[in-house]
Amino acid sequence: MKNFLQALSGLLCSLLVFGCNQHGQPIEDFGIEKLTKGVSTEADVRAAMGEPDTIWEEGDGARTFEYPKGPSGHRTWMITLDTHGTVRDWRQTLTPENFARIHSGMSKDEVRRLLGKPRGSVDFPLKNETVWDWRYLESGSTEKIFNVHFDRHSGRVTGTSVSDELMG
């Protein structure tokens, strides 16, 4: 019995170690911890994260790979590769700072570029609006939905809202 408990304890410790990055912080999405800014290549990104949902062409010749982790996930990663195919930077887009950047008059393309692919889209013909939503974690643990409301005719943002995650 003692050997079994030792083996079980060792297995649990191993799992905890593999679930943390090099700084001992929990890994938010497996794959991103394998990348190093200024070192990792496009091949490394694809091996670690898979095929991107969208590839955005930047004005300076760089490209940004979009990795939405939805519809059940809470994160969308944007990984920017320089003109040589080396990782320049990455960022998680579903943050309060990015949500605060959404303002009336923005186009759907501008919102999509800032937040990534929405989890869902619902039309409300009587209100003349379309609402896109993204699932995110508020304060790191509370599941919420960030909504962007668009005028159906102009395709421009009319407002935003936050709602609780509905379960079931």
SS3 assignment for 126-163: HHCEEEEEEEEEECCCEEEEEEEEEECCCCEEEEEEEE
Domains of the chain: residue spans and CATH: 27-92 (3.30.1450.10), 96-164 (3.30.1450.10)
| pLDDT at site 167 | 56
Q: Are 24 and 40 in contact (CB under 8 A)?
A: no
Average pLDDT, the chain: 85
pLDDT average, residue stretch 101-120? 96
| pLDDT at site 27 | 44
Predicted confidence (pLDDT) at residue 67 exceeds the cutoff of 60: yes
| pLDDT at site 111 | 98
Q: pLDDT digit string (tens) for 132-153?
A: 999 999 887 789 999 999 999 9
What's 117's DSSP letter? S
Q: Give the percent of the chain with pLDDT over 70.
A: 80
What is the token pair recorded at 167?
């379960």
Predicted confidence (pLDDT) at residue 1 exceeds the cutoff of 90: no
CB atoms closer than 10 angstroms to residue 132: 21
Q: pLDDT digit string (tens) for 23-65?
A: 344 445 578 999 999 999 999 999 999 999 999 999 999 999 9
Q: pLDDT digit string (tens) for 150-159?
A: 999 999 999 9
What is the token pair recorded at 80?
């920017």
66 or 16, which is more confident: 66
Q: Are 27 and 63 in contact (CB under 8 A)?
A: no
Query: CA angle 110-75-56, nearest 5°?
Result: 40
pLDDT average, residue stretch 88-115? 96
| pLDDT at site 70 | 72
Q: What is the spatial distance between Cα 157 and Cα 149, in angstroms, rounded to a whole number?
A: 6
| pLDDT at site 18 | 41
